[in-house]
Every structure is written in C-alpha cells, then in structure tokens.
Amino acid sequence: MKAGVVKETAPGERRVALVPDAVTKLQASGIEVLVERGAGEGAWLTDSAYADAGATIVSGAELYRDADVILTVTKPASDAVGLLRPGQAVIGMLAPLIYPELAATLAARGVTAVSLDRMPRTLTRTQPMDALSSQANVAGYKAAVVAAAEFGRFFPLLITAAGTARPAKVLVLGAVVSGYDVRPASKTEVESLGATFIELTAGVSAIGEGGYARELTAEERQAQQDELVGHIARHDVVITTAQVPGRRPPLLVTEDALKAMGAGSVIVDMGASALGGNVAGSRPGETVVTGNGITIIGADNLPASMPTAASNAYSRNIATLLDYMTSDGALAIDTSDEIQAGVVITHGGRIVNEAVTRLLPAEVNREEGSDVDGTAD
C-alpha cells in the first residue's frame, strides 16, 4: 500500500501530516510513503530528510495518481477533491460535522474518508491517535505565550530592586492556574497540575458522547454565563477553549463580563471560528480592543503557528491510526470496530457515520445512496 503525504494549501497552514521519523516505522508495516514535493517546508522539514528516511518525493499529480491513501492535516481543497478516485482513501481532520457536504461529495466519488476529529475519546487505546488532544496541547501552550506577549505586565511574581511585580491572575475557561470546564472529570486534571478549579453552584455538567462535551441548553448557558461573570472580572488574563463538535462554540465571556474586567486585561479566544466564539465580539484571526481597554485575541489555528511541534504530534496520531487500520499491507475497513465506527465517515460509495448523515437532507442521502452502517455518534 502506498500512503501519500500532501502539501497543505490552506491559508496559514504550515503543518504536515507525516514527519520523516514516521516514514521508517510505516515502512516496517509494509506501507510505502510518497511525499509531495515541499510538503514539509512549512515545518522546516526538507525533501531530503524525507528521502533519507525512505520516502519517495513526487509531484502533486503523481501523488494523487499513485497513492492508495492520502494523508492530510485539514480537509482537502476543492481542486484536490477532484483528483481523488474511487477506492482511494483520505485520512485527516476533515471536520465532517462542519462540512457534511464534503462527506457527501467524497461518498459520491467512491472515496473512503477517515476523520481523526471523530476519534472516540473514552477508549484508553485511542489516546495515541487523539489528534484533537495533541493539537490542543500545542494550541494551549501557544495561547499562553500569545497572552503573555500582549499583557502589559509580568505573568510571574517578580521581586526586584525596582519594586515587586504581583503575579497575573490567569483563568482558563473550557479545560486548564484557575480553570473551569463543563465536564466534571476535568476537575481532577486541573488540580493535578496545581491549579484551582472553579466549581459553579449552577452545577452544569455537559458530558457528551465519546468523551466530547455536549451542547448546553439555553437555561444551562444562561446559568453558566451569569455565574462566570464574577470569576472572569477577578482575572487579568482569560484563555477560553470551549468547543462543541459541529456546533457554535458556547459564549462564556459575555458583554457584561467584558465590562466588568479591568483595563489592560487580555482574552485569548481559542474557540473563535466561523461558527462563532467563546467571547462576545471576538473574530477569528483578529485582535480587538474594547472601549474599556480589554484586548480580545481571536486565535486562528494556533497549532499551525508552531508547525514543527504540531506536525510531530499529529504525525504520531495519524501514523498510529493508519497502522491500526492496516492489515496484510492494505487498508482494512471494518465499521463494526469501535474505533473505526467513529472515524470512518464514508466507504463504498456511502456515508457510514450516523452523526454526519443526520446533518444532510434526506434527498442528498438518497441521491448518494448513503445509509448508516454500524456507526457510532
């Protein structure tokens, strides 16, 4: 089987799906690796490094023609979709709950789509394949660095001859310092790092399927927002991370909360996207300063701004999943397997993931001949 590593073309995307170290490991499993020329340049990985690891450097046209499996970080561009052929597979973070029409298109072309961002997260053995977590780790680190760079004072306590600088009060909303998360299990994780966990008296719990957070009801959102206002106002820096797969991110920092914060405070909204954000007035990829002096940074693909670290982590995720799904040198699709039931979106000309099917009009499903086959939400 031949696996092809594409050169990412999305604006600002500098990650690559596979790093040279993973090439040798996949070859041991009978997988030949093709790398599109220049694929690793954004992460400072040269074609010669891939070649030295045993990969074959090819053009984009050759890669789509010869590869059995296409490895990507994000969803393939529209022109790349046209190059995919029946029986070919594409593995990446395809965001099928946000772009279900892409899934329908891939199904119609007879392409098998495997999306790492639908990985079941309650199974211990999926941890090495959990790309959302690995990329969130990178993004969380960078968010703190971005916040510290924007904040007008020091983060740590500093005692100098020129005086004492009090430490900044930092609040992380969504998962981890002071921290709050709608999933109660996160309390232990936050405290294990020596941070303080904020417990709301509203008692909102949003445990969803597969280890993801569920969307809150209108009443739960209001109760959460009302109680968070006071906590937010007492902090200098707030980092928000809350997301719900395929849904608008929850609004955590309201206009009232912004008005209660002190001038010079900084907010990094990691939930900012085209669907919305965690902070009132935040815009993805933009920095906004409110009338009362609060800086709101709409984080936009932070992992891509640390391409080497992010690519190394993602490479381990995708290589582990590919190896798991490979049998006798070929991709073996089995949607009765609990891991594949989550990540396999299309196969055999059909959409085989129930969560994605529900997002498409019934007539689209009939036109594409899709149905649900042994899947899990």
Any idea which residues carry the catalytic annotation? 121, 127, 130, 133, 212
d(CA 91, CA 68): 11
Q: Residue 345 in contact with residue 118, Cβ under 8 Å?
A: yes
Could you give the angle at the alpha carbon of 142 between the alpha carbons of 137 and 144, nearest 5°?
100
- Amino acid letter, 164: T
Beta bridge partners of 178: 171, 196
Q: Residue 214 in contact with residue 189, Cβ under 8 Å?
A: no
Q: What are phi and psi of 324, to 5 degrees?
A: -65, -35
d(CA 112, CA 115): 10
Beta bridge partners of 160: 163
Q: How far from chain centre, in Å, is Cα 307?
A: 14
Q: What are phi and psi of 366, to 5 degrees?
A: -70, -40
Q: Residue 349 in contact with residue 368, Cβ under 8 Å?
A: yes
Nearest CA among 118, 86, 84 for reference residue 100: 118
CA torsion, points 67, 68, 72, 75, in degrees to nearest 10?
120
HSE-up (13 A, CA, CB side) for residue 5:
32
Q: Residue 48 in contact with residue 103, Cβ under 8 Å?
A: no
d(CA 367, CA 360): 11
d(CA 71, CA 352): 20
Q: Which is it for strands 196-197 and 178-180: parallel, antiparallel or unpaired?
A: parallel
d(CA 244, CA 222): 17
Nearest CA among 43, 59, 4, 54 for reference residue 314: 43
Q: Is 5 exposed, middle or buried (0-12, 13-18, 19+ CB in 10 A)?
A: buried
